[in-house]
Structure formats: structure tokens, C-alpha cells
Structure 1
């Protein structure tokens, strides 16, 4: 099935704005911020995609809970649950970059039809084994690994396809609504899974997840190909993986946000380790308190995603500020003396965590040539998703050795320090300096150009973190 009508690559947004410094790009499409929180849903193709994801994401969260519970029931081993999770993430760590190369060579819609169908069949096979009483733990391991293999291609294809659905002007809003969609499912899916597991068994949770893939598949089939902002697939060639890595390495506006997400994902996003330790060892509350912490964080994450959709821009300056605030709040939460204060802090922590997530995702997509977007998004997702499994043993050892408060404070300090250092690096790359002054009787700090020419001195009040001149151009102009 074709994803378009022979259209050439859709151009990336023009990032020039006279109010910005010569060293840095402007925020993409400034009209987006006034277009409404749900403006991208006016696009029919995206509305179909979004609706399908609502159903599928709930099913995905149901399967996550049911899968872990089934493994625990079969083995009575937490280590076996960890192995299942590792097997699901392992393909992304091993083959994530190759998945990005493949995505750039293929049309996104038929690729997603294949990956979504593969994941549906995997869930239905696991459901059949469970409902007939023949399931063994190795079946779950194989299903987790197979799902991970499909995700290697599905994840970058899905991330890149959003730009083809809405175009550059609505990309930030669409990415934000996708995150809100996922967080909403996070509030519903586990609850439904719990009812199914206790009422009729884990097999029905797997079955319903398999059936839920019918919604995104139907949405993909109903889309109007002529309305897609189609990107011409890259021809097969040698060295495309190295080309993608060189592309990122030569662009600070891509490289440094990915590095920042790597630090945060590895050391600060390991909430299963931190929150379970606080629930059990610090506040002695058990599973109910752990669930409360996760629910409140999901509420904050949903609010962060909706605010990002309303904001309509993706500035790197906002990314740095949100990352610093996220790390600082983790440090504050580490010292919270009471359970309820700690629980309430989960809301702003979730909000700033989602702001980091959405801003990074959107700014990377907006600054990337569509011809290499699959490879760039694969690298981003590999770093983001791969960081937690790598960091979990490290933060787990710190938490076990020195206590939950020290573990959480360490993660927050690393996030805040990494954001500060990377913010200064980006400022230096853009030839900026820190200016401290007074505005209306209040102190104000901002980065301003070191040279005060007409264009540069006027724009830094609202400019994003800087990048070298010409680093981001229109789609189709960059080939590494």
C-alpha cells in the first residue's frame, strides 16, 4: 500500500526568524502556539492515527501488567520478571540503529501495518497458550523478545510518521497529544488489567491487547494517501548507518539533547527502583503506596503533555530549564519528611519529566532532514529507552547501599548537572553570554549574543538554546 502519491520529501520547517540570534534557530511555526491545544486533531489522517493509538495504548498497558504477573505466577521470581523486561528492550539496544536505517528506506504506512500486525499476532498467540493452560515461562520470554524486535522498526516509523500526518506546522502539538494519549492509557490500562486478571485471568488481557491492534490498523487503512506529507524513501546504499551517526555528530542541536536524555534516562528516570524503595523501605506502605506514587506521576505527566500541546513550540532553552527543574525536584523529594509531601511532589516531577520528553522529541524531529529522520529518531529512542536498563543496576546498588533518599538525590543531581553543563555548552557553541539584570524591579537572567548586532541583540529573550549558523536547514539540503 502506498503512503503517498509520489510526492517528494516534505520539507523540514524553515527555522529562520529575524528575532533570533544568527547562531540559533527560531521556534518552528510560531502560529502553532495560538492554534489550540487539540489543533492537530483537525487533520483527518492524524485523527484516525490518534484514535487508533488510544485503543492500542490501553491494550499495551494491560499486556505489560498481565505479562509481569504471569511470569511472577509461573516462577515466583522477581528476577524472571526482570529478564522478561530486559528481553523486550534488548532488541532496541542491539538493532535500534539498523531499524532506523530500514525505516528511512521504507514507506511509513505499510511498515506500520506490518509491525502492528506482527505485535497483534504475538499477543494473540500468547493469549491462546495462556487460555488453554499450556503457557510456560519461555513462551513469555519469546513473546517479549518478538515484541521487542517489532518495536525496533515500529518505534522510529511511528515517530517519523507523525510528521507525515500533520506537517511541520502542527508537529509539536501532535507529538504532545501522542504523549498525552500514552499517559491517559497509563491511568486506564493497568486498572483494566487488574480487573481482568482477578476476574477472568491473564489470558484475556493478552487477547484484548491483540484485538486492540485492530484500531490502529483500521486507522492506517482509512487514511487518505494524497493528504500525507509524504517523504521519498532513501535509496539503499552503503554506509547509511555511519551517515546517520555523522549527521547527528555534526549538529549540536541534535547531539546534545540526545546526550542529555541519555544521562536523564540512565540515572534519573529509574522510577521503578526509586518509588518501590520509598514505598517499602522509607514509608513502609507496600504496593498500595507504590501504586499511588505511579498514579500521581501519571497525572503530572498527562498535564505536562497537554501543556506542551497548548504551548505549540519546542525550544531547546525550555528543554534545559525543564531538565534542571526535574533534577531539582527529585533532590527536594529525596528529602521529603512525610509520605503525602513525597506523593504530591510526584505530580510536578511527572510534569517536568514529560516536558523534557516532548520537547526533546519535537525539537529533534523539527531539526532533522526528513531523509534521515528514521535513523535520528532510532538513535534517540535507543538512548532514551536503553538508558533505564543500563542504569537500573547502578542506581539499584546506590539505593541498596546508601538508602532510597541518597539514590533519588543522586539521580536528580546528575540530571540537573548534565542539563546545566549542556546548556552552557550550547550557549558557547552559539557564542552567547549570560546576562544578569533587572526587569520591572525583578532580577532577570538570560543568554544574549556576545556581539550586539541588530538581529542578535533583539532576539534572545525568546530564543532557544543556540546552534551553529546553517546547522538546520530545509529538508533535502543536508546529506552527510
Structure 2
């Protein structure tokens, strides 16, 4: 089905859900009414495993940034490590999207999660034995980026196989809720552990957390999903056909381009949070954990707000604009304040706005895309969401090294605000055309 057809009100053609449904009776009824995706057994397993694993992931993210800054004392080194993690995503995610349209996604997700576990274990071992260097962190970050290039589009495309079309928006919002709930818990634990016993504990706990998601994946009961019976074309040809599909669907194209700009420069202000914590607010590792946790709290509230109701086409557009505006104000506010208390509030606002924008973008892409191109479009989504961050992290790291972290973060906020202004203009013109067509 074309994107234009969806905008005219036709339902998207998506596969049915697999796995047993949760009974709509008893004490669970109220939960299902608010979060209908939870009636699917496979999705419940997925969310439970992800909830544990993502806490470990956020712990590793916080500990890794603090480790690099402690060892090197360089703002630019933070950008280099981020670049190393994001570059493989930029290079490999397009091919990964093609693979996601051709293979059994569930099995390959098990492989990617197991590889991520081994990388976390390796980093923890290097830190514990005092053999870690910034170069070693760069290598491990690059390897994890290569794994993530396949893992992320696979997991995004796998959601619809667990819940079906009707509950897809709710499932995306719930997945975002779990991700950001972990963003609250993980950094707080990491800040305390780093201050008490060092970074290695965070990496070992992250490795152990992958056992939960692996157990959940292996416990699922899945029906076999039929892929196209056509002879697969070469990966490059498959990617180019997906790119051509997006190019001829303006809503998909515009959503992805805007996401690339915001993610590439706007969201990358977060690599500078260790600098804000240590040099601007003089709060150390504990302050760093608090700043990341504050953004996580805002993100959780935003994700739960999105998950609690269904939205019309017009409301989805408003969510995009409102989210981008709130994120921009939060980042610019962080650059302006020198008090940690105010900074925590601005971080919460930035987190709320970022998830309102990002989750709505993901939802619209998944609802608009033709099922034949789902993996490829989610691969492009991964490139725009994470791959563009490779360049953005280097740019902001270099600016911070030369002019300071507040100046670099101000650029991130200003770029996001400019994107919001462009989006407001586009949506206003679109609304005018729709009113004229209806007249």
C-alpha cells in the first residue's frame, strides 16, 4: 500500500501477530485497556528481557563515557569514541536492512545479543586488569557498533511480528517506555557504582543482563513468517530499491531527512554531559548520573504518555512539532544555566521532548511503510538515527575542545530549533492543502 493511501485513511497492510494472546479477564483487564500490546505473550517476554538488558546497556554507556574522560581528560576523545561506535552503523545498517527483509529475524537477534554480551565482558575484563586504553575502548565501541547495525533494524522490524498491526503504535511506545525507564535506573546505578568501585562492575553487570533478553527470546513461540518467494537480488540492488521506494514517498523521505539532522547534531549534545557534570557543575560521577537520569525521567513520562492513548494523523504531526520544540528549549536551557538543580529540570524537558519526537517518527515510519520494504526502511531509520551521529559527535567534540561544552551544546539546541521551525512551516502548508482539497 502506498503512503498516500494511508494518508487518505486506508489501513496499512501489515502481518498478523504471532504468539498467544493474554486473556482479557481478571486483574489484567485494566492493564490491557491502557497497553493492549501486552496481551501478546511474545511481546511480554520481549519487554521483560529488554527491561533488564537495557538497564545494563545504560550502565555501560555511562561508565564508558566516564572511563574515557577519566583516562584521557580530553573532550575530543569522547567524540572519537562516539564516532567509532556510530561509524559502523552508518556503513552497515543499509545492508542490515536488506538482510532483515530476507532472514528469520528472531534467530539473528539472538546472535547479535550474544555478541553484544561478549563485548561487554571483554571491556569489563580490560578495565578490571588495568589494561584498558582509549584505543581499546575505541575498538570495542566499533565492534559493538557493527553488531548494533544489524541488531537495531532487526528488533525494530521484529515488533510487528509479535503484536500485529492494530497494537503496533502501542508496542512502539511501550518499547520506548522500557528503554527510557532503563535510562533512569541504569545511569543512577552506574554513577553510584563508578564512584564506589569503579567502571568495571558496570561492564560485568551489563554482560550478565544480556542473559535475561536471551532467555526471553529463546522462550518465545513464533509462527514462521513467509518471506518473498522471489529470488533474492544482490544486497546492493536490494538497498537501492529500498532507497528508490523512500525517494518516491515524500512523507517517509522527509521524516528520515529530518531525523538525520536532529540525531546527527541535536541529540549528540549528550556526549558532553560528563564535561558539564565535572567542569560546569563540579558534581563528579554522581552528578553525571543525576543529569542522565533526569533526562531519562522526562523520557519515561513522555513514552508512557504516548502509550496511554491512540493518536490521529493530525495529533501525530503535533507530537512531532511539540517534541522537537521542547527538546530544543531543554538543551538551550542546559547551556545557559550554571546551577545543577536547574540543569536537571532542563534535562528532564529535553528527554521528554526527544522521546515525543523520536517515538512519533518511528511510529509513523512503521505505519506508512510497505511490508516488503520494512527492514530496509528501518535500516535507513537506523542510519539516520544513529549513523549520522558519527559525524555529529566529532563536530561537537571538536567545538567543545576549542570553545567549551556550553558552546557546543548551544549549537545542538539551535540546530534542533531550526529543524522545528522548518517542520512547522511544512506542516502548516500541508494543512492548508488539505483544507483546500476538502473545500
What band does the TM-score fall into relative to the shorter chain? 0.7 to 0.9
CA shift for structure 1 position 389: 3.4
Structure with the higher fraction of residues in helix conformation:
2
Tell me which residue corresponds to 1:298.
Answer: 296
2:91 aligns with 94
1:296-330 per-residue CA deviation (whole Å, 9 max, x = no partner) reads: 22111110011111133372343134323433554
What's the secondary structure of 1:209's corresponding residue? helix
Pairwise CA distance, 1:416: 3.1
Alignment of 1:227-266 (within 5 A): 230=225, 232=227, 235-238=231-234, 239-266=237-264
| CA offsets 1:6-52 (integer angstroms, 9 cap, x no match) | xxxxx999965xxxxxx6447979xxxx9644321221000000111
Distance 2:170 2:198 in 1: 38
Cα distance between partner residues in 2 of 1:360 and 1:91: 23
Structure 2 unmatched ranges of 5 or more: 14-30
- Mark the CA change 1:14 to 1:250 in structure 2 (over 3 Å): closer, same or farther: closer
From 220, 224, 229, the equivalent of 2:221 is 224
Assess, with a 3 A threshold, how the Cα gap between structure 1 residues 349 and 103 changes in structure 2: closer, same or farther. Answer: same
SS in 1 for 2:232: coil
CA separation of 1:268/1:242 partners in 2, compared to 1, >3 Å: closer, same or farther?
same
Give 1:59 shift: 1.4
| Structure 1 residue aligned with 2:108 | 111
Query: Based on CA coordinates, which of the two structures has the bigger radius of gyration?
Result: 1
Could you tell me which residue of structure 2 aligns to residue 8 of structure 1? none
Residues 142-198 of structure 1: CA distance to partner in whole angstroms, max 9, x if unpaired?
322221111111010011101111111111111111111111112222333344445
User: Is 1:174 matched up with 2:171?
Assistant: yes
Deviation at 1:115, TM superposition (A): 0.8
What residue number does 2:385 align with? 384
Kept in 2: contact 1:37–1:310 (CA 8 A) = yes
Structure 1 residue aligned with 2:155, among 135, 151, 158? Answer: 158
By how many angstroms is 1:219 displaced?
Answer: 1.2
1:350 is paired with a residue whose SS is helix
CA contact (8 A) 1:231 1:371 kept: no
In the TM superposition, 1:1-20 aligns within 5 A as: none
The answer on 1:45 being equivalent to 2:42 is yes
Aligned length: 416
Aligned Cα RMSD in Å? 3.4
Q: TM-score, normalised by structure 1?
A: 0.75
Structure 2 Cα separation of the partners of residues 83 and 58 of structure 1: 24
The aligned counterpart of 1:343 is 344
Residue 311 of structure 1: SS of its match in structure 2?
A: coil
**What aligned pairs does 1:167-206 form with structure 2 within 5 A after superposition?**
167-197=164-194, 201-206=198-203
- Aligned residues of 1:231 and 1:370 also touching (Cα < 8 A): no
In structure 2, distance between residues paired with 1:136 and 1:407: 26
User: How far, CA to CA, are the matches of 1:349 and 1:302 in structure 2?
Assistant: 12
CA distance in 2, matches of 1:337, 1:141: 31
Closer, same or farther in 2 for the Cα pair 1:81/1:157, shift >3 Å? Answer: same
Cα distance change, pair 244–426 in 1 and its aligned pair in 2 (3 A): farther
User: Gaps spanning 5+ residues in structure 1: where?
Assistant: 1-10, 17-22, 434-446, 454-480
Alignment match, 2:19: none
Task: Sort the Cα spacing of 1:86 and 1:402 in 2 relative to 1 into closer, same or farther, 3 A.
Answer: closer
Question: In structure 2, what is the equivalent of residue 469 of structure 1?
Answer: none
> Structure 1 residue 411: deviation in Å?
3.4
1:325-351 C-alpha deviation (Å, 9 max, x unpaired): 433554566556865444323322221
TM-score (norm 2): 0.82
Contact kept? 1:324, 1:417, Cα under 8 Å: no
In the alignment, is the contact (CA less than 8 A) between 2:55 and 2:183 conserved in 1? Answer: yes
Choose from 43, 56, 61 the match for 2:53. Answer: 56
Q: Which residue of 2 aligns with 1:438?
A: none
- Kept in 2: contact 1:13–1:169 (CA 8 A): no
Residue 222 of structure 1, CA deviation: 1.2
Q: d(CA) in 2 for partners of 1:402 and 1:197?
A: 28
What is the Cα deviation at residue 80 of structure 1?
Answer: 4.3
Partner SS, residue 263 of structure 2: helix
Note closer, same or farther for the CA distance 1:452–1:85 as it changes in structure 2 (3 Å cut).
closer
Stretch of structure 1 that moved more, 292-301 or 253-262: 292-301
Displacement of 1:276 in angstroms is 5.5
Name the residue aligned to 1:464.
Answer: none
Q: Deviations over 1:214-247 (max 9, x none)?
A: 2111111111113x7x352575203111111111
Cα contact 2:334–2:343 (8 A) shared by 1? yes
Distance in structure 2 (CA, Å) of the matches to 1:63 and 1:127: 9
